[in-house]
Amino acid sequence: MILSGSFGTYSLPVRNALRGYQKLAEAAPDKFLRYQYIDLLDKSRERIARLLNVPSDECVFVPNATTGINIVLRNLQYQEKDCIIYFDVVYGAIEKTLVSLLETNPQLTLRKVGHGQDFGFSLPCTHSEILNALSQTISRVLYDGLRPKICVFETIASLPGVRFPFERIAKMCKEYDIISVVDGAHGVGQIPLNLAELDADFFVSNCHKWLYTPRGCAVLHVPKRNQHLIRTTFPTSHGYQPPKSYASSIPNPLPPSDKSDFINLFQFVATADNTPFYCVPAALNFRQNLCGGEHAIYNYIRDIAQRGADLLAMILGTEVMDDLDVGYGLKTMGSYEASDRRDGGRTGWAGSIRDCAMANVLLPITVVGASSRGSISMGPGGAGSAGGLSPALRQSSYGFPSTGATTHSLRASATGGTLGEPRMSTSPLNSPSAQSAGPVVVQEADVSTHIAWMEKTLVDKYNTFVAIFLYDGKLWTRVSGQIYLELKDFEWLGGVLKALCEGVRSGESLRRKDQNSAPDKEFEGFTLQSPTPSRQGTGTSVRRFDVTKGGWVDT
């Protein structure tokens, strides 16, 4: 079961199309790779351009969004005092790309907007606060005597998974004469996009994450006014046109083309399996014919993601990252109680950070030593407190004892709408009568170890995956909505996450680390119920896992 939104998946009709193109390529490689693929690629460009409301000769395909952003940033030329502005929720590979640019362009300056910066914001916050932080940063860059040349920003950020005010950021870039580079990795297929209205300078988005194409397919949109800036692909291939001053003639072994230099540049980039590019029509046909069309998909995946996140937060006794709750999301937990206050029900997410098919749910784990704003995980009731959530909605959790209401009765009264009643799980992991053993407490230094263990266990033991990450001193999980998910899947995930939190509490997530660091295997056969004597000293002491310290201690 895929709940993370990391790499995407595709349907059987799309898989059949992929296999068909691969068979064509293998049957006659020269015929296919020199002639046949061109028509397939053109049809894919036409279909994706129609979806995005732009001309087809402004759209090309690249393997992924990271490649597209690299192509743009490495083609642009930088002068003294040029500055690139980006946000702290930037995808890690893109931030590393920006840093690597400094190695070959030492005259370049980077300026980050977000948590912990001079003019920043901390999620959850409103879109207006994000825009205000950007405006202040631009003013400061100008005050420092620098030129804000480029702004890199997301449609929907990856971690945390929140919708960004990308439309208004693009307009702000125009007002300040800043080149807008939109990392829409999670955009196409998840939310409606009209690139003609957006009018960004450069836009790239994966098709394999949400549009249901095979992996290795992303669209790069470059308006005609900027196509002259993209001089080469990476790697440089046969479509590159050397400067006219270059005397030597470099032969091109590919058939002649009457397309624009920009389209030719990306039409053949070295030898690769580009059959995922040709599957865009099959993916769009599947979405239209079997899923009810684009807007039906957009509405369902957003609805199931946000309602599922609310249900997951209720099971864990925590909160959803939500800017529409009074007090930066500390009052309720992005719960049904909060949803009821939104005018129009599901439409109340419009314009917020939750206006997408991704959501972030707080894990009931307190990180000792991590600084954070607010008191989501350290509020009344201990780690995982739901703050001001109505007692009627509290259940057995890591922050709250049960007040008598059962999980089934609470959910039955709180769920409904177009998705119907969720089917309740009978898994013992999700038993509402399980007694809490108190808050889960970990040390900041061990957070990466805990995360690695939880994510690996999700894959190995439960055959699923959700991203777990540290933000603002708290541990969160990111969930995504997809057409194949139901509320019962999020309920099941709640039981799985509770089991993982128990593993963290018991020290299981640190045990392997300690065993690997102990050459004499002093923890071999160790159990929490019957701790073995320590081999240190006289052998009368034992080791136990101290939840308040988040590690093993001698007693």
145, 259: one domain: yes
CATH number of the domain where residue 332 is located: 3.90.1150.10
Please tell me whether residues 331 and 444 are part of one structural domain.
yes
Torsion angle (degrees, nearest 10) of CA 228, 230, 233, 236? 60
Q: Within this chain, do residues 252 and 311 fall inside the same structural domain, yes or no?
A: no
Question: Are 302 and 251 within one domain?
Answer: no
Host domain of residue 128: 12-291
Residues 116 and 198 in one domain: yes
SS3 280: helix
Judgement on whether residues 185 and 228 belong to the same structural domain of the protein: yes
Q: Is 382 a domain residue?
A: no
Report if residue 395 sits inside a domain. Answer: no
pLDDT on residue 10? 84
Residue 8 has what pLDDT? 80
Of residues 230, 250, 233, 234, the one with CA closest to residue 242: 250
**Full-prediction pTM beyond 0.85?**
no
65-75 and 92-104 are packed helices; what angle lies between their axes, rounded to 10 degrees?
20
Please state the domain count of the chain: 2
256 falls within a domain: yes
Q: Are residues 248 and 310 in the same domain?
A: no
Q: How far apart are the first and last CA of the chain?
A: 43
Does 356 lie in the same domain as 457? yes
Let me know: does 169 contact 198? Beta carbons within 8 Å: no
**Which pLDDT value is given to residue 45?**
97
Question: What does the pLDDT profile of the chain (555 residues) look like in tens digits?
Answer: 555 567 788 899 999 999 999 999 999 998 988 899 999 999 999 999 999 999 999 999 999 999 999 999 999 999 999 999 999 999 999 999 999 999 999 999 999 998 777 778 889 999 999 999 999 999 999 999 999 999 999 999 999 999 999 999 999 999 999 999 999 999 999 999 999 999 999 999 999 999 999 999 999 999 999 999 999 999 999 889 888 877 677 888 888 888 999 999 999 898 889 999 999 999 999 999 999 999 999 999 999 999 999 999 999 999 999 986 544 433 333 343 344 444 444 455 677 899 999 999 999 999 998 776 543 333 322 333 333 333 333 333 444 333 333 333 323 333 333 333 333 333 333 333 334 456 799 999 999 999 999 999 999 999 999 999 999 999 999 999 999 999 999 999 999 999 999 999 999 999 866 554 444 444 344 343 433 333 333 344 444 445 444 455 565
Where are the strands (E) in 200-318, listed by range? 202-206, 218-221
Contact between 190 and 298 (Cβ < 8 Å): yes
Contact 85, 102 (CB under 8 A): no
Indicate whether 18 belongs to any domain.
Answer: yes
Distances (CA, A) of 492 to 236, 301, 436, 471: 48, 18, 18, 24
Domain identity same for 355 and 239: no
Domain harbouring 219, CATH code: 3.40.640.10
**Does 77 fall in a domain?**
yes
